[in-house]
Amino acid sequence: MAAGHLETALRTLRDIERNNVLPQERAWELHERMGQLLYWLADLPAALPHLRLAWELPRENHSDRLAALSNYLMYLHYVDGVTDAMMHDAHAAYAQMLGTLPQFSHASHHRDKLRIGYLSPNMTDHIVLNFAVQLFSAYDRARFSVHLYDVGGQHSEVTDWVAGMADGYEDLSKCRPQEAAACIHADGIDILFDLAGHSAGGKTLMIAAYKPAPMQLSGIGYFNTTGLSAMDYFLGDPFCDPPGEEAHFREQILRLPQTHLCFTPSERFRPYEHLQRTPHENVVFASFNNFAKITDAMLTAWGEILRAVPTARLLLKNVHPLKETLTRMKVRAVRAGIDPARLELRPGSKDYLADYLDADVILDTFPYQGGGTTCEALCMGLPVVVRAGTRHGARFGVSLLHNAGLSELIAGSTEEYIERAVLLARDRELLGALQMAVPRMMRASPLMDAAGYVRAMETAYQMIWERYLHEKT
């Protein structure tokens, strides 16, 4: 849908709903379109009931209905008031709808190298690749054989670059899920890593459900249980997944010793590697997250921060270039008590790193935290204030700051979140010191220790495989 036409399209769909002119067997289509439009307009509370009906209502194509449920599960993380139990039950509904599928059998074997497969719809210029590329390029080729399976259908120069790193690359985007699973099984993959979960409509999960590899894990590109019995592990770490987190997962949590994420900046960061910066005369708070992540409670907290620092301003930059979303965000911000004269709204843009130069402190969203945006901000010399939650998807910002040596910026409550942000704004000396130190801290941290991260993953792979062999005997 072209920018400038979203509100018109939404009014049209509401007229259709109000007049009840769509046949009952196509009611799901109306709700799916309304849900997506409201998502693009960053109105998740209004979108979720439609997105729920998009998968609850019957339709002929079962795969499309599963994809609608995956989309709903993805967006469920954006809103306030969803308990951990509700989130667990919603993911369990996916497994129930999926039903029982025939699964591949796996014969015992002994090879010199473990075969690791990575299944992703994002083998292109995508933020998930910034977290996964070291697994494709820096592995121990004497002990492991790496195979990439692309289901995204977005071939680019980046795809060619990534494909050249591994022992094998296969484009499965035109295959049906069972056919794609058969290809992976035929390659003799020992451990299959799903890098997407319920993102991208759950394409990868529809393949993994057939159990093409004897051991399967998910993570990096998704932040909650898949709900699938065919998935054995979920990747985590001690900060993101403290004791007790197992209750929220169908899978076993595979905790790496330090971080489950390793960030590799793109070439776009090169001009900013030796950035020298000082705080603006009037502090600028900012968020560069998807506007759909910004809840009304978050806006209210940001309004309190601005009232406590009367000279500060707030910069909100969306990830999408839709100007209609800016109009809606301004209305919401004013309703939450934010002075529009102190608010700047910017649409998403391809070359956005320079926008970080206009900010001083990043205010992370809650409950769905920033991942790539937080890493980008740290690389650009900006401290990030994070509000800790209770589940993986509301804690990966916590893990990032712990690993970067910035745990004092983690708040346990909204009140603490406001206090930390205000403290940074009022202490210009501290803020300036952090802006100079944060990039060095980030680059020296486990978050950018590619060799250490890949070795930790390989140790985990070996443990998974030895455990599997032991359980088979």
Over residues 424-439, the pLDDT tens digits come to 999 999 999 999 999 9
Looking at the predicted structure, is the pLDDT value of residue 409 above 60? yes
Mean pLDDT on 387-395 = 94
Encode pLDDT of 160-188 as tens digits: 999 999 999 999 999 999 999 999 999 99
Using CA atoms, how far apart are residues 316 and 310, in angstroms rounded to an integer?
A: 18
| Cα distance from N-terminal residue to C-terminal residue, the chain | 56
pLDDT at 112: 85
pLDDT at 43: 92
What ranges in 365-449 are assigned the alpha helix state H?
372-379, 396-403, 414-426, 428-443
For the domain bounded by 114-262+449-472, which CATH number is listed? 3.40.50.11380
Residues in contact with 8: Cβ distance below 8 Å, sequence separation at least 6, in sequence order: none
Using CA atoms, how far apart are residues 390 and 240, in angstroms rounded to an integer?
A: 9
Residue 148 near residue 123 (C-beta atoms within 8 A): yes
Looking at the predicted structure, is the pLDDT value of residue 108 above 60? yes
Model confidence band, residue 3 (pLDDT cutoffs 50, 70, 90): very low
| Strand bridging mode 233-236 / 252-255 | parallel
Encode pLDDT of 229-284 as tens digits: 999 999 999 999 999 889 999 999 999 999 999 999 999 999 998 889 999 999 99
- The encoded tokens of residue 149 equal 């399976």
> What torsion, rounded to 10 degrees, do the Cα atoms 449, 452, 455, 457 define?
-60
pLDDT at 12: 85
Using CA atoms, how far apart are residues 381 and 440, in angstroms rounded to an integer?
A: 9
Looking at the predicted structure, is the pLDDT value of residue 473 above 60? yes
Residue 209 near residue 132 (C-beta atoms within 8 A): no
pLDDT at 2: 47
Residue (of 220, 234, 224) closest to 263 by Cα position: 220
Residue 231 near residue 222 (C-beta atoms within 8 A): no
- Give burial (CB, 10 Å; 0-12/13-18/19+) of 135: buried
Mean pLDDT on 98-114 = 88
Encode pLDDT of 410-426 as tens digits: 999 999 999 999 999 99
Model confidence band, residue 1 (pLDDT cutoffs 50, 70, 90): very low
Q: Taking all residues of the chain, what is their mean pLDDT, rounded to a whole number?
A: 94
Question: What is the domain class of 267-448 according to CATH?
Answer: alpha beta
